[in-house]
Amino acid sequence: MSQSPVLENPLKEGIRIERASEPCAMVIFGAHGDLTKRKLIPALYALYIEGFLPREFCVVGMSRTKMTHEEFRKAMRNSMQQFASDIPLESAKWERFEQMLYYLPGHFDQKGGLDELASTLKELSEKHGTQGNTLFYLSTPPSLYNPIIDRIQESGLASGKQMQSLPWPRIIVEKPFGHDLETAMQLDERLHQVFKESQIFRIDHYLGKETVQNIMVLRFANGIFEPIWNRQHIDHVQITNAETIGVEGRGAYYEEAGNMRDMIQNHMLQLVSLVGMEPPITLDAEAQRDEKAKVLRCIRPFDLNRLEEHAVRGQYGPGFIAGQQVPGYREEEKVPPNSHRETFTALKLKIDNWRWADVPFYVRSGKRLAKHVTEIAVHFKKAPHRLFNAQFQGAADIIGPNVLVLKIQPDEGVSLKFFTKQPGTATNLRWLSMDFNYGSAFGQRTPTAYERLIHDCIIGDASLFSRSDFVQASWELITPVLSRWDETPEASFPNYAAGTWGPPESDQLLAPDGDVWRSL
């Protein structure tokens, strides 16, 4: 039986060593796809060499492509070399790890399609000691979610739903969680017919990023931040997700989804909830998810009669990225020449509760923008008495608010912007930043988001996963906007050139409050 190595000094890993991993088998539906090659297998191998996989563990990949176990193992090793160069691929360790990898071809939409899987899992339970625990990963197009759930139910593989102990089934569902409120609720209902809510892990890789996890620590473990994390001291919050890439050959998918569904409904609203949440009573998963769901329920619904004051959409046209000419969205593969699908979204959100009353949260996300960056910028109110404005010429033009920036990608870290005096006999003011960067601060490789999230699934910790009520609240907020946009196609598309910061209309969301988008 393959075993993961023992840590030489497990105490260096902090509290994670206290969370025991239970024996289990992991079934990856859609194992021949890019997600498995680029993210899942590299994450599992990294967990293996770090000692975070249970000793009693195995993986069964399934897809329609016919392959043997050995062919699958070879393909996964090639993927490691191609997509995970930062993870040391040592021959001896990989040879032990790959003995836990298996493969079965299958058709998920056919009755009886998982019968062979059921018998295989039984054999592997005896061989690897997984005790019948099974973690299902839906790494497939959403159209296959319901057929796979049907097959899991009819094969009896989720019979552990009613059991309070071993064996257990768990299921990981990749976004999108539905196409709108109605389809999201239909998927949710189907999932709950087969699994308990505690067994459903709706994965959002943004929540596995170190800076995102650090938001709660920054706020609730430091006495200097929480007392000023409110409307008395914070002027507004800006959350930006900017990508320089286009739709990357996914024109058909993006034409169905668009930016609002692809980024806002999940990733961006998760960030809003983490910034805006109240302190949970404990670090228990449900206590944390209670507070995040409350934030979404407090967001003021959009006034559809004045929607342009709160929501802006955009679509990129031809332009230049890094000096290279790139096509517009309508010239992308599998995109109609008259498409009205948005590739950019900007929202002005108001959270109607005691902490955040009258503090706008500005959210923007888009493709083919000027820079690749995702960050949260907390803009504090200006100093109440402008002492230096009165005494020093030119100071009024440069003195602005302090800004706390949580950098999510590409370089994860935290930055605090503040004023200081330049050395010299004159009093000259200058902006400086105190910067913390994960890569340089700890001198070690930062685990990928999927490493943390898969490990949490194995140990049954749902803290970083979306709960049913959060998903429902997010769709309730944005579905009316999507419906209105579908009813009134935007005649000005494309309305921003690739390589810019989006349509000029997005600036008007901030203008009434005297705010501007942060320069990135």
Q: How far is CA 100 from CA 41, 113, 172, in A?
A: 11, 23, 20
Query: What's the alpha-carbon Rg for the chain, to the nearest Å?
Result: 25
Polymer length of the chain = 520
State phi, psi for 293 to the nearest 5 degrees: -65, -35
183: exposed, middle or buried (C-beta count within 10 Å: 0-12, 13-18, 19+)?
middle
Given the DSSP bridges, would you call strands 413-421 and 319-321 parallel, antiparallel or unpaired? unpaired
Instruction: Based on the residue annotation, tell me whether 179 is a catalytic residue of this protein.
Output: no
Selection from 314, 308, 304 nearest residue 368 by Cα: 314
3-class SS of residue 105? strand
CA distance 247 to 224: 42
- HEC-encoded secondary structure of 64-103: CCCCCHHHHHHHHHHHHHHHCCCCCCCHHHHHHHHCCEEE
Catalytic annotation, pick one of 267, 310, 379, 455: 267
- Tell me which DSSP letter residue 444 carries: S
Inter-residue contact 102 to 119 (CB < 8 Å): no
Look-up of token digits 């007392």: 227
Question: CA-CA distance, 410 to 141, in Å (whole number)?
Answer: 27
Give the containing element (helix H, strand E) for 121. Answer: helix 115-128
Q: What is the DSSP string of 222-281?
A: -TTTGGG-STTTEEEEEEEEE-S---TT-HHHHHHHHHIIIIIIIIIHHHHHHHHPPPPS
CA–CA distance, 356 with 296 (Å, rounded to integer)? 12
Give 161: exposed, middle or buried? Use CB within 10 Å, 0-12, 13-18, 19+.
middle
DSSP string, 286-340: HHHHHHHHHHHHHBPPP-GGGGGGTEEEE-EESEEETTEEE--GGGSTT--TT--
Is the Cβ–Cβ distance between 386 and 409 less than 8 Å?
no
Catalytic residues: 267
